Amino acid sequence: MKILASRRFLGPAWDELSDVEYLSGLLPEGAGGDREEIDALAVVGERIDDETLDLFPSLRIVANYGVGYDSIDVGACAARGIAVTNTPGVLTAATADLALALLLAVRRRIVVGDLAVREGRWRGGWADPDFLGRDVGGSTLGIVGFGRIGQAVALRAAAFGMGVLQHSRRRGGEGWRELDQLLAEADVISLHVPLTTETRGLLDASRLALLRDGGCLINTARGQIVDEEALVRELVSGRIEAGLDVFAHEPEVPRELVGLPNVVLTPHVGSATAETREAMTRVLVDNLLAAGRRERPPNLVYPEAEAP
């Protein structure tokens, strides 16, 4: 099976693949024209749509490195009988850890304090209001999307003494609230839904306005789930605070956010630990190897999709 990959993926599992070629640039141009011999694409965040698929008439599988596959037009793949796989499960803990790290960093003014120390602005006094945070224990976390990662965040938050509320499409369960109720009731909101047509712009200006004064938004999911312009307005006003790992137009970050003390910014690193990235490669490779043997890949995005 001939694989076209957008990069070498981290870890020893990658070397189990024998026939790999690398893109010379961004798709579709990076494919270098029509590629009839390519059976599989291994990608991470590249846009895979009809225009790109046209270049690969023999393609059998698009294997995505990551759990979120919003960059892939799954409908277009399905229409051509091309399987789509992702790497769920192995990045749950790392992503949940980052959500908590951002929560703690925002609530306890970690970045503001770190900068002050580095820049020699710490004068040894104990009454600097810039360093005065908010208690994490005793506050309420509202989790939007209660799948694998949302539930892992709930476990961690409970260990910090937080009350946990949740909203998911599947109604009910402990702490379930309607979305608007959740946004109004929680002190901190953390997003853990995939980006789909239903969740694009889910937190629009009117929903952001429901957040409590002094409330905090954590986003380790996808930037486009939030109306970014409306979020920037709320953050510039200082009414709320945020920990953001994802943005609407990555790697661009709204300029207005860069100097704000009420925001902590990270560069889409939810799954970025050596162990997790290697485990993601293992899953990616297992999907590709299964497709190569003409078996059903373990992580088909559409369970009803035909094995290639």
Residues involved in catalysis: 222, 250, 268
163 binds ligand 8YV per the rule CB under 6 A: no
Among 4, 52, 53, 66, binds ligand 8YV (CB under 6 A): 66
Distance in angstroms (rounded) separating the CA atoms of residues 292 and 1: 6
- The window from 29-37, 46-54, 132-140, 269-277 that contacts ligand 8YV (CB under 6 A) reads 269-277
244 touches 216 (CB < 8 A): no
Query: What mask of x and - would describe binding to ligand 8YV in positions 209 to 248, judged by CB under 6 A?
Result: ----------------------------------------
Residue nearest to ligand 8YV (CB): 66
The distance of closest approach from Cβ of residue 268 to ligand 8YV in the complex, given in angstroms and rounded to an integer, is 6
Which strands sit side by side in the sheet containing 241-244, from one edge to the other?
Answer: 163-167, 140-144, 188-191, 216-219, 241-244, 263-265
Token duo for residue 241: 């605070």
- The window from 62-70, 176-184, 249-257, 282-290 that contacts ligand 8YV (CB under 6 A) reads 62-70
44 binds ligand 8YV per the rule CB under 6 A: yes
For 52-63, letters b (16+ CB in 10 Å) and e give: bbebbeebbbbb
Write the CB contacts of 188 (distance below 8 Å, at least 6 apart in sequence).
103, 107, 139, 140, 141, 142, 162, 215, 216, 217, 218
Helix axes 92-107, 274-292, angle to 10 degrees: 150
Among 28, 68, 150, 254, binds ligand 8YV (CB under 6 A): 68
91 binds ligand 8YV per the rule CB under 6 A: yes
92 binds ligand 8YV per the rule CB under 6 A: no
220 touches 270 (CB < 8 A): yes
User: What does the binding site for ligand 8YV look like in residue numbers (CB under 6 A)?
Assistant: 44-45, 65-68, 91, 268, 270-272
